[in-house]
Structure 1
Amino acid sequence: MIVYAHQSPGSFNAAVRDVAMQELEAQGYKVLVSDLHAMNFRANATQDDIIESRAFQYGDETMHAWMEGRLSDDIMAEQHKVEEAELVIFQFPLYWFSVPAIMKGWIDRVLTQGFAFSLQKMYNNGIFKDKKAMLSFTTGAIQTMFRPDGINGDINITLWPLQNGTLHFCGFQVLAPQIFWSPAHCPAAVRTALLDGWRARLKGLLTEKPLNFAPCELFDLSFQGGFMMWPKVREERESQPYGLTTGHHLGKPLPPDNQITAQPANESSAKPACKK
C-alpha cells in the first residue's frame, strides 16, 4: 500500500510513487495506492467519522464504532487496505518537519484505537507487528542542513515522532526511510539517479532489516510503575557510550543514525528486562 500526498501529478513525489508501483508490481505484488489529494480525503477528525454517533468522545467512540462497523466509509476503505498490506509506504514532501496536513489527517482518522493500537497492544507487541512500513519523502533542504551540526538539526530527531510515535507505536516493523534530498535543486541527471537508486532498493526492500527501537520488555508496563524503564536496564546501559535510541537517550549521546539506518541490535537492548 502506498499512501501518497502531493497535489501535482508532475511532481518528483509522483515519479517516486510510480517507480515503486512499477518495481513492486514487477515482483508480483499487488499495489494499492491512496492518492489523498485525488480522493479529496478529509483531513479533520470530526463527529462525521462515526455513523450514529452517541456520546461524542473521538478516541473512545471511534474505537467502539470500529468494533461495530460504524466508521465512515472512507475510513473503513482505508482500514481494509491496511489490513491487506504487507508493506505500507508513506510518500510525501516533508512539510514543516512532518507530513502534509492531508496525510496527518489520514493518520488521525484511519489509525483508530482498537484497529491500530491499544494499551495492551503497542510498539513491538503492537497490532501490526507482522507488517512493515516506511517513510519515503522529499525535502526542500539539502542533506547537510539536517545533520547534527546543520541549521535544521539532526534528521534522526525529526523522524522520531513519525517513526516511533506513529508507525512503531502501531507495531509496524519500520524500514529505514528513503530520503530524497532537495530534488528541486538538483539537475535532471541527479534526479534520474535518485530514482534509479530507489528502484534498486525496491528490489530487496521486503527483505531489509528494520530499524531498532526499545522493546516493551525493557519497561514496567503498569500505571504503578509509570511505564518507566526497569532500573536494572538503566544500570546495564551505564557503561554504554550511547543512549538506547534517539528518544531513549538516557542523557547520553544519541546512537548515530538510529532513525535512518538499520543497525545490529545491541545485546543489552535486545534482552528482556529483569523481573521485579
Structure 2
Amino acid sequence: MTDTTSTRPRPRRKKILVVSAHPEPRSLNAALTDFAVGHLRAAGHEVKVSDLYAMKWKAAVDADDIPDHAADQRLDILAAQERATLAGRLSADVTAEQDKVRWSDAVVLQFPMWWFSVPAILKGWIDRVFTNGFAHGPAVPPPYGEDGALGGRRALLSMTIGARESAFSDRGVHGNLTDVLHPLQHGVLWFTGMAPLEPFAVYGTVDLPEERFAAVLREYGRRLDGLFTDEPVPFRALVGGDYGRDMRLLPGVEAPGAGGLGIHVRPRGA
C-alpha cells in the first residue's frame, strides 16, 4: 500500500527554534514539544529548544537585563534596551535567546492558553528577547511587513486549550480564536516581520483520550511538514499602499462586508 500521509515535497534543511512554556515535563505541551522536535529532526532539520520552565527563565523586564545601566538613573526601558542591544551589552540569557532567533528559519511557540493568552513566562520571553533595536524600533526596518526586523522567518503558534472548539467559533462565547490570537499573530509575529501560519490548536485538553491524542499527533505532523510550504496568514503590509500616513487602513481597501480585525488580512489570492 502506498503511503499517502504527506504529498508535499520535503524542503531543504532548515533551522527551527521551538520555545516551550509549561511547568510540567509530563504535560501534553511537553509531549507536543518532544513530538515536534523529533518529527522535524527526522525530516532532516536542525532544531534548538528553549524550555522556559526548565531554564528557570526570568519573566520580568528589569534593570538586570541591561548590565551597564547605572542604578541611580531612571530606567527608560525602550531607550535602555536599544542602547544595550546595539552595543551588544544585554544580559547573557537575553543575548543567547536572540542568537537562537537570529539562527532560526522558523520559530514554534508551544504553550497552554491561559486567560486567553500565553503563560507569563512566555510573555516574559517575548518582552525580554524582542528588544528595541533587535525586533523593533527606529534602528531596524519598519514593522508589519516581510522586510521587518525578523523578516524571512516563519512562525507557528501551537497551543492546548481546555475549552471546546465551538466556544472559540464565530459565535462562541470566548470569541473567535483568530481574534483572540490577533495580538500574538499580528501584534508580535507580523509586527516584527515574521510570517505567521494559521495556528495549531488542540481543544478539549482537560481530558484527552488516547485515540484523540494519536489523531492530534498525526495532524500536528502534517502541520509541521508544511512549516515552510503552507501559505502564511496574508496580513497586510504597513508599507505598500493599504495604510495612510496615520497608520489607518485606507477607505474601501477591505473586501465588501469585512469588519473588525479581519480588515487587516488580505483576501486569499488577492
TM range (shorter): 0.7 to 0.9
**Residue type matched to 1:188 in 2?**
E
Q: Percent identity?
A: 36
How high is the TM-score relative to the length of structure 2? Answer: 0.86
Does the CA contact (< 8 Å) of 1:183 and 1:191 recur in 2?
A: no
| Large movers: runs of 4+ above 6 Å | none
| Residue 117 (structure 1) aligned with residue 139 (structure 2) | no
The residue aligned with 2:67 is 51
Does the CA contact (< 8 Å) of 1:2 and 1:32 recur in 2?
A: yes
The separation in 1 between residues aligned to 2:96 and 2:52, in whole angstroms, is 13
**Residue type matched to 1:49 in 2?**
D
Structure 1 residues without counterparts, runs of 5 or longer = 251-257, 267-276
How high is the TM-score relative to the length of structure 1? Answer: 0.84
| Residue 98 (structure 1) aligned with residue 114 (structure 2) | no
Change (3 A) 1:13 1:148: same
| Residue 20 (structure 1) aligned with residue 36 (structure 2) | yes
**Residue type matched to 1:79 in 2?**
Q
The separation in 2 between residues aligned to 1:175 and 1:6, in whole angstroms, is 22
The separation in 2 between residues aligned to 1:147 and 1:203, in whole angstroms, is 26
The separation in 2 between residues aligned to 1:45 and 1:203, in whole angstroms, is 35
| Residue 199 (structure 1) aligned with residue 221 (structure 2) | yes
Matches within 5 A, 1:145-224: 145-216=167-238, 217=240, 218-220=242-244
| Residue 34 (structure 1) aligned with residue 56 (structure 2) | no
The separation in 2 between residues aligned to 1:24 and 1:174, in whole angstroms, is 18
The separation in 1 between residues aligned to 2:235 and 2:193, in whole angstroms, is 11
Deviation, structure 1 residue 263: 6.3
The residue aligned with 1:132 is 154
The separation in 2 between residues aligned to 1:263 and 1:89, in whole angstroms, is 25
**Residue type matched to 2:144 in 1?**
Y
How many residues are matched? 246
Does the CA contact (< 8 Å) of 2:163 and 2:205 recur in 1?
A: no
* Structure 1 or 2: more helix by fraction: 1
Structure 2 residues without counterparts, runs of 5 or longer = 1-16
SS in 2 for 1:77: helix
* Aligned CA-pair RMSD: 1.8
The separation in 1 between residues aligned to 2:186 and 2:55, in whole angstroms, is 27
Change (3 A) 1:79 1:147: same
